[in-house]
Structure 1
C-alpha cells in the first residue's frame, strides 16, 4: 500500500479483528487545521481533516461519530462546527467548548446544528478552570446538554460536591483518568460510581495510553471494572488524531481492546451502539 493511501495519525492499515455492529459510534475525535489560530497557551497540532477521519471510520467499520472541540482552539468552535455541518446530523454530533455566560442565541444555533454538550478540559486548563464547572453544569441543564469533564482523578475528587450536585449528565473523559492500581481506593472512584449508579454519569472508554503511554493494554483491569459496574453507561471513542499520545497508536488495535474489556457481544453492542445513541441523540 503506497503512502498516499495511508491515514494520518494512525499506525497500520488493517481492519480490527473485532466484529463491529452496524450503527457503531466513535464518541470522541477531533479535527485540526494547521493554519487555524491557536488559543493562547494551547498546543498546535498538524492538519487532521474530517475526510481523514472518515477514512479511519471506514477502516474500523464505524458508522457515526462525535466531534469534540479540543483545547487547541479555545472558545473558537468554528472549525468543528463546519465539520459537523459537513458530516450532517444523521451521522454526527458535537461537543463544544463554551463559557457559562455564553450568548443564548449562539447556543441555540449550536444545538440546532447538532451540538449536544460542552467540554471542560481541566487537564490543559484552556480556556476553562475548575471554578467554571458548577455554573457550566447549570447552563447545560438549561440547554438539555451534558457536561464533559476531562480532569485528573485528584481533581475529580476535589470537585466531588460540584459533580454530585450537577443538574445535567456528566461524561468523564478517557476512563476518568483513574489510577491503574488501587483505583477503587481513590476518592474519584466513588464520585464516578455515584454518578453512574444514579444514572447521571457516563465514562468514555478512550485514550487508554493517557494512563500508560507504553502499554495501553495495561488499562484492562480498570476498564473491565468500569464496564462491570455500569455497562449501560459506557461509550467508546478513538480520540483520533491522538493529541495526548507520545507515539501514534494503531486504532484497530485499540478498538480490539474492547473484546477484553467487554467480552460479551451484547455489552459491546450497548457500548458501541445503544449507549451513544441515548447519550448523543442518534436515531
Structure 2
C-alpha cells in the first residue's frame, strides 16, 4: 500500500473485518497541535489532526465522533473546540476539561458548540485532582452534562462514596482500569456495576493496551463480563492517536476485537450506535 494510504498514529493499512452499522460513533479521540502550548507538567504530543482522524473513521466505517480534551492542554479547550466546530454538530460532540466553578457563560457557549461532559483525568492529574470529583459532579448535574473519569481501579474504589452519590451520569474511561484477573473481586468492580446497573454509569470499551501493552486481546474476558452485565451501558472508541500506548496499535484489529467482546450483532449495534446516541445526544 502506498504512503498516501497511511494514516498517522495507526498501524492499520486495511479496513477491519467487522462491518459496523450505520451511525457508529468513535466515542473518544483527541487532536494535537505541536505549535499549541502544553499545560505545566503535561507531556507534549506530535500533531494529530482532525483530517487524519477523519481518514481513520472512513477506514473503520465510523460516521460520528466524540472529541475528548487531553491532559496535554489542561484547561485550555481551544484546540478541541475548534475541531468540534469544524466537524459540525451533526457529526461530533466533545468532552471538555473544566474546573467545578467554571463560568456559566462559557458553559453555555460550550454546550451550544456540542460539549456534553467534563473529564477528570486522575491518571495524569492535570489539572484536576480526586478532591475535585464531587464538586465537578455537582457542576455537571447543574449543566445536564456527564462526568467522565479516568482513574486507576484503586482510586475508583477509594472514590466509591463520591461516585455512588454523583448527581450526574458517570462515564468510566478505558475499562475503568479494572484488573485483568479477578476483576469481580476488586472493590472497583462493585462501584462500576452499581452505577451501570442503576442506569447512572457507562463504560468505555477502549484502550485495551492500557491494561496490557503487550497483549491487548487479553482484555477479552473482562470485556465480555462488562458487556454481559450491562450491554446497554457500554460504548466503544479508538482513543486515537493512542497517547497511552507504548507502540502504535492497529485500529482495525482493535475494532475487530469487538466481535469477540460482543458476539451478538444487536449488542454491537447498541454499543456502536444506540448507546452513544443516548449518552452524547446524537440522533439515531
TM-score in same-fold range (> 0.5): yes
Q: 1:23 & 1:5 partners in 2: Cα distance?
A: 24
Give runs of aligned pairs for residues 184-199 of structure 1, distance below 5 A: 184-199=184-199
Aligned mates of 1:211, 1:5 — CA distance in 2: 30
Aligned to 1:16: 16
Q: Which runs of 5+ in 2 are unaligned?
A: none
Post-superposition CA distance 1:124-175 (Å, at most 9, x none): 0000000000000000000000000000000000000000000000000000
How many residues matched? 283
Matched with 1:214 is 214
Q: How does 1:137-216 map to 2 (within 5 A)?
A: 137-216=137-216
SS in 2 for 1:167: coil
Alpha-carbon separation, structure 2, partners of 1:14 and 1:39: 36
Q: Does 1:58 align with 2:58?
A: yes
Hey, what's the Cα distance between the residues in 1 that align with 2:134 and 2:141?
11
Task: Kindly state the Cα deviation for residue 19 of structure 1 after the two structures are TM-superposed.
Answer: 1.2
Q: Could you say which residue in structure 1 is the equivalent of 2:69?
A: 69
1:3-56 alpha-carbon deviations (Å, 9 max, x no partner): 233100000310000010000000000000011000011110000000000000
CA deviations 1:216-271 (Å, max 9, x no partner) are: 00000000000000000000000000000000000000000000000000000000
Structure 2 residue aligned with 1:91: 91
Q: Specify the SS of the correspondent of 2:11.
A: coil
SS at match of 1:202: strand
Aligned partner of residue 100 in structure 2, secondary structure: coil
CA distance in 1, matches of 2:12, 2:175: 25
Q: Tell me how large the CA RMSD over aligned residues is.
A: 0.5
Equivalent residue number for residue 125 of structure 1: 125
**Which whole-Å CA distance do the structure 2 matches of 1:49 and 1:67 have between them?**
12
Q: Name the structure 2 match of 1:259.
A: 259
The DSSP-based 3-state class of the residue aligned with 2:119 is: strand
Runs of 5+ consecutive residues of structure 1 not aligned to the other structure: none
